[in-house]
Structure 1
């Protein structure tokens, strides 16, 4: 379901958008899907972090999603390296944002935290 909705969000982005802007739309869709209940997400994350098999499964799920996003970006005309970087970047941004969100005490929703994390990444790349 996550991969299907992520690819649908990517397909909805104009092909003229940059790869990073395209995966930003995917990140919004993912945040909407998994950001409904922070308390449930915290409990789920605690269980996953306490179990090596579940951590491995989570990493496999994210790697599979990254590969699917990269493939779809390539189909849209994005270069091979750029597609891989954009897809992997989206996973890294999501992981950092999700971790920030589940441990936060403020009332920001996951989408806001994802967008802020992506903005911080863009600032890093502009500084380099």
Structure 2
């Protein structure tokens, strides 16, 4: 499954071994956040995404942010990370939100994602 990371908030994300095949990384934030994946999913359960003013919520990566993300991905060293580096380097400076997915997800959906996430991280 391709990840859509347009406008994704990867604050303090651990990207080691991440499969970013097909990921769209426009507008990705590389700041600091103390929440892990599980906490973030639980925090957003049953909360509606603000589908209005999407462009105001996200920003295109500037060259320094792209370089920082590429540096992080180089430390991963996986084939998918190497492919992602090429996509980041060639990414448009235009933020395309035409395929952005908004809405809510239920506790049942979140529980399935967390179960899959925990199974994947135990490998």
Shorter-chain TM-score category? 0.3 to 0.5
TM norm structure 1: 0.36
TM norm structure 2: 0.37
Which protein has the bigger helix share? Answer: 1
